[in-house]
Amino acid sequence: MSATLALTEALIARASVTPDDQHCQRIMTERLSALGFACETIESNGVTNLWAVKRGTDADAPLLAFAGHTDVVPTGPIEQWRSPPFQPSHRDGVLYGRGAADMKTSLAAFVVASEEFVAAHPQHRGAIAFLITSDEEGPATDGTVKVVEALQARGVKMDYCIVGEPTSTNTLGDCVKNGRRGSMSGKLVVKGVQGHIAYPHLAKNPVHLLAPALAELVAEKWDDGNEYFPPTTWQVSNLHSGTGASNVIPGHADVQFNFRFSTASTVEGLQQRVHAILDKHGLEYDLHWSISGLPFLTPRGALSNALEKAIHDETGVTTELSTTGGTSDGRFIARMCPQVVEFGPPNGSIHKIDEHIEVKFIDPLKNVYRRVLEQLIA
Euclidean distance between the first and the last CA atom of the chain, given in angstroms as a whole number:
28
Q: List helix spans (H) across the chain.
A: 3-12, 24-34, 105-120, 144-154, 206-219, 267-280, 302-315, 330-333, 362-376
Report H helices in 38-128.
105-120
What letter represents residue 82's amino acid?
A: R
C-alpha triplet 73, 77, 82: angle, nearest 5° = 100
Pairing label, strands 127-133, 47-54: antiparallel
CA distance 193 to 202: 8
Asked if 111 and 7 touch (Cβ cutoff 8 Å), the reply is: yes
Which residues have a catalytic role annotated?
A: 71, 136
Distances (CA, A) of 254 to 13, 43, 189, 190, 260: 44, 38, 5, 6, 20
Cis peptide before 250 (omega within 30 of 0): no
**Beta pairing partners, 131:** 51, 67
